[in-house]
């Protein structure tokens, strides 16, 4: 079974994607349109997918800053919640197994490059990237949760 982790964000190529298939771990940055096209094309048919759905967490986040800063943060959170829900709705019936989790359930941003690399080496997996950004690390963590 192919396992996929998706960490959505509403920005250009802001969707972190990690796929483990056999001994390969592939990282990719998607735009919303690219991901929706692959979902509709059936690319997730025989997969187990875990997506972080920030829309599941109904809370206000960082309220630090002046009015305009707080308003910008609020808009960004709302946009991320919307894109997370859209992706979950689009993929829900397109894969073998689907799990959506809240940011709270995903937990801390505790992975770094060395811990991801160590996990892959221990499991006998090869990564297509040496240096991971935060989207890659979050998607990797979600891929590990896909069963």
Q: What is the pLDDT of residues 90-99, one digit of tens each?
A: 998 888 899 9
Looking at the DSSP bridge assignments, the partners of residue 97 are 48
Q: Delineate the domains of the chain, giving CATH numbers in brackets.
A: 2-145 (3.30.420)
User: Which strands sit side by side in the sheet containing 97-101, from one edge to the other?
Assistant: 97-101, 47-52, 2-7, 15-21, 24-30, 126-127
Q: What is the pLDDT of residues 38-82, one digit of tens each?
A: 999 999 988 999 999 999 987 666 677 888 887 877 777 788 899
pTM exceeds cut of 0.85: yes
């Amino acid at each position: 079974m192919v396992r996929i982790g998706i960490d959505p964000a509403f920005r250009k190529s802001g969707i972190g994607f990690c796929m483990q298939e056999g001994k390969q771990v592939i990282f990719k940055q998607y735009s919303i349109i690219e991901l929706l096209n692959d979902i509709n094309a059936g690319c997730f048919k025989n997969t187990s997918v875990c997506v972080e759905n920030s829309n599941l967490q109904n809370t206000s986040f960082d309220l630090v800053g002046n009015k305009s800063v707080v308003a910008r943060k609020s808009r960004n959170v709302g946009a991320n919640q919307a894109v997370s829900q859209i992706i979950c709705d689009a993929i829900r019936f397109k894969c073998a197994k689907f799990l959506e989790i809240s940011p709270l359930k995903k937990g801390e941003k505790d992975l770094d490059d060395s811990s991801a690399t160590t996990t892959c080496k221990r499991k006998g997996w090869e990564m297509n990237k040496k240096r991971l950004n935060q989207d890659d690390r979050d998607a990797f963590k979600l891929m590990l949760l896909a069963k």
